[in-house]
Every structure is written in structure tokens, then in C-alpha cells.
């Protein structure tokens, strides 16, 4: 599946991260390409979350480098990562339940003017934000009953879709999804998996953390398995390799 002869959108080289005496990431090498869905698998405490937090700028690696398009990228905080085109959807979704989808999309980066006023004093271009939001949602085939309705009145799947769409709208290169289907029923999970497929169709690189093996098999092009902070295996997830993946995760012989 991996596109040959291309520079990966993002590459972590020999990434190492320590929390006190605990080695959370141990010499981790991971890469993800444009138009590819990479699953990161592992048991709790395997280092998945630490890895994505390093990639999204929440933590900094103690050793090793993160490269974007083959060039070393220095992230000091989540804003840096965002500016480089990386958006992360955490499990809590970080949505504003009291605001509409478009207000959620543009929270903290509202379209507003005139430019000579300080940001907070500017007047919002609400119509433009609405239109742009609708465009993104339409493009990703996310149909919401009412775009002016606060997000808090939407179902878990719809909220997940809004959060993913928001990330997609601003992620030029890479979207990171942390357990995107964990809290959802079967039907709503389907919608989100489909959405992930569309992100790939748009040529974004996608990293998914998930415990739901069926979902990983269905949606991921490649899977990296982590255990105790190290990458212990990499394979293409299929129904046939399912058993192999599970044993890699739990550390059995397989």
C-alpha cells in the first residue's frame, strides 16, 4: 500500500520520550504518507498517546526528530503543529456544545475584519464562516439536520463528524484521530469510518488510534503495533492478519 519513492508527509525518527524514570517512547520510527491511513495499535500504556501528543506538539521528544516532507520540523506547542498542517481530534472532541458547527470550526480563528482592529474587537464574517463550513461538510458528505443548531444537540456520531471535519478543514497535511469510533454505536461508527475514507480520498495523511480491530482492518492501509514504548511490528491489517496483530499487541508468540 505504501506509495513508493515518495517522501512521507510525516516521519518520526528514533523518537524517544521519558517521563521521569518511565521510558514512554523508545527509539520509535514511524512514517505516514499522503493519502494513507495509518493505524497505531497497542494496549493501554503502550505509548500510542505519547506518540501522537509528540506529533501534535503537546509533548516534545527528548531525543529523535520529527520530519515534515523530509525536513526537520521543530514543534514547541500545538499551535506550531497546527501551522504545519497537523490537526488532532482527541477523544473528548474539544467541541463547544453551546455553539453551532461553524462557530466550532472557526473558534479561535474566526474570519473577521477590519484588519486594523485588534483581533478580539473585529466583527465576524458569519456568513462566510457558515458557507465555508457547509462546503467542508458537504465535501465530506456529513449531512447535519440543522447547521445552526448547537453541537450539544447532536448525537455522538454527528459530533465526532463535526470534530473530524473541523480538523480536516484546517489540516493541510495530517489528521490525527484518537479513538474516533470508541463511543459510538454500530451505525454511527460506520459514518465515521466512511469519513476517514474520504480524508484519504482528499490526499491527507491520516493517523488513527483505535482499539476496535474490525474498524482498523476496514479502514487502515497500514498498522504499526506498539508495546512498552517501542514499535514491535508493522503490517497491513486484513482479516487474515488479525490474529497476528492481536498477538503483537499483547506480546504473545503469534
Partner 1 sequence: MGDRTGAGSWEPDLRNTGPSAGKTAANASHPESPTDSSDPEATEIVERARFDRSLGLALWFLKAGPVLILAILILIIAVISPVFLTTRNIGNVLAQTAVIAVLALFQLLVIVTRGIDLSVGSTLALATVVGALVYQSNGSGAGTIMIMLVTGLVVGLVNGFLYVKGRIPHPFIVTLATLTLVRGVALWLSDGRPIQGAPEVVLTLGGKSMLGWIPVSTIVVVGTALLVWLLTTRMVWGRWIYAVGGNPEAARRTAIPTSSVLISVYVLSGLAAGVAGVLTMGRTNAGAPTFGALAELDAIAAVIIGGASFLGGRGTIGNALVGALMIGVIRNAMNLANLASFFQLIVLGVVIILAVESDVLRGWLEQRVRLMQATRS
Q: Does 122 bind partner 1 (CB under 8 A)?
A: yes
**What are the strands, taking DSSP E only, across 135-215?**
174-178, 205-209
Q: Does 136 bind partner 1 (CB under 8 A)?
A: no
Q: Is 241 exposed, middle or buried (0-12, 13-18, 19+ CB in 10 A)?
A: middle
Cell numbers describing residue 189: 461508527
Q: Does 124 bind partner 1 (CB under 8 A)?
A: yes
* Closest CA relative to residue 38, chosen from 242, 167, 210, 198: 210
Site string for partner 1, 212-251 (x = CB under 8 A): --x--xxxxx--------------xxx-------------
Shortest distance, position 38 Cβ to partner 1, whole Å: 11
Place of cell 482498523: 216
Q: Are 108 and 166 in contact (CB under 8 A)?
A: no
Q: Does 109 bind partner 1 (CB under 8 A)?
A: yes
**22, 74, 131, 143: residue in contact with partner 1 (rule CB under 8 A):** 143
Q: Which is nearer to partner 1, 24 or 95 (CB)?
A: 95
* Closest CA relative to residue 211, chosen from 39, 25, 53: 39
User: Can you give the binding site for partner 1, defined by CB under 8 A?
Assistant: 1, 35, 37, 78-79, 92, 94-99, 103, 107-110, 112, 119-124, 126, 141-145, 152-158, 161, 185-188, 190-191, 194, 197-198, 200-201, 214, 217-221, 236-238
Amino acid at each position: 500500500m505504501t506509495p513508493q519513492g515518495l517522501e512521507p508527509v510525516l516521519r518520526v525518527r528514533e523518537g524517544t520520550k521519558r517521563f521521569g524514570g518511565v521510558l514512554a517512547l523508545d527509539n520509535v520510527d514511524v512514517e505516514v504518507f499522503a493519502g494513507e491511513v495509518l493505524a497505531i495499535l497497542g494496549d493501554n500504556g503502550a505509548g500510542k498517546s505519547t506518540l501522537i501528543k509528540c506529533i501534535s506538539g503537546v509533548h516534545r521528544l527528548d531525543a529523535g526528530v520529527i520530519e515534515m516532507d523530509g525536513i526537520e520540523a521543530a514543534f514547541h506547542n500545538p499551535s506550531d503543529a497546527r501551522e504545519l498542517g497537523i490537526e488532532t481530534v482527541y477523544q473528548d472532541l474539544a467541541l463547544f456544545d453551546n455553539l453551532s458547527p461553524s462557530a466550532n470550526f472557526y473558534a479561535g480563528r474566526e474570519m473577521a475584519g477590519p484588519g486594523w482592529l485588534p483581533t478580539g474587537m473585529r466583527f465576524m464574517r458569519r456568513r462566510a464562516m457558515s458557507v465555508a463550513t457547509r462546503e467542508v461538510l458537504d465535501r465530506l458528505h456529513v449531512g447535519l439536520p440543522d447547521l445552526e443548531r448547537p453541537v450539544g444537540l447532536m448525537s455522538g456520531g454527528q459530533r465526532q463528524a463535526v470534530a473530524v471535519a473541523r480538523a480536516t478543514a484546517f489540516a493541510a497535511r495530517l489528521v490525527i484521530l484518537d479513538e474516533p469510533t470508541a463511543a459510538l454505536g454500530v451505525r454511527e461508527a460506520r459514518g465515521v469510518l466512511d469519513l476517514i475514507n474520504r480524508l484519504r480520498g482528499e490526499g491527507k495523511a491520516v493517523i488513527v488510534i483505535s482499539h476496535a480491530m474490525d474498524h482498523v482492518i476496514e479502514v487502515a492501509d497500514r498498522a504499526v503495533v506498539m508495546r512498552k514504548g517501542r514499535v514491535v511490528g508493522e503490517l497491513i491489517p486484513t482479516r487474515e492478519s488479525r490474529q497476528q496483530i492481536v498477538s503483537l499487541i499483547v506480546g504473545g508468540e503469534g
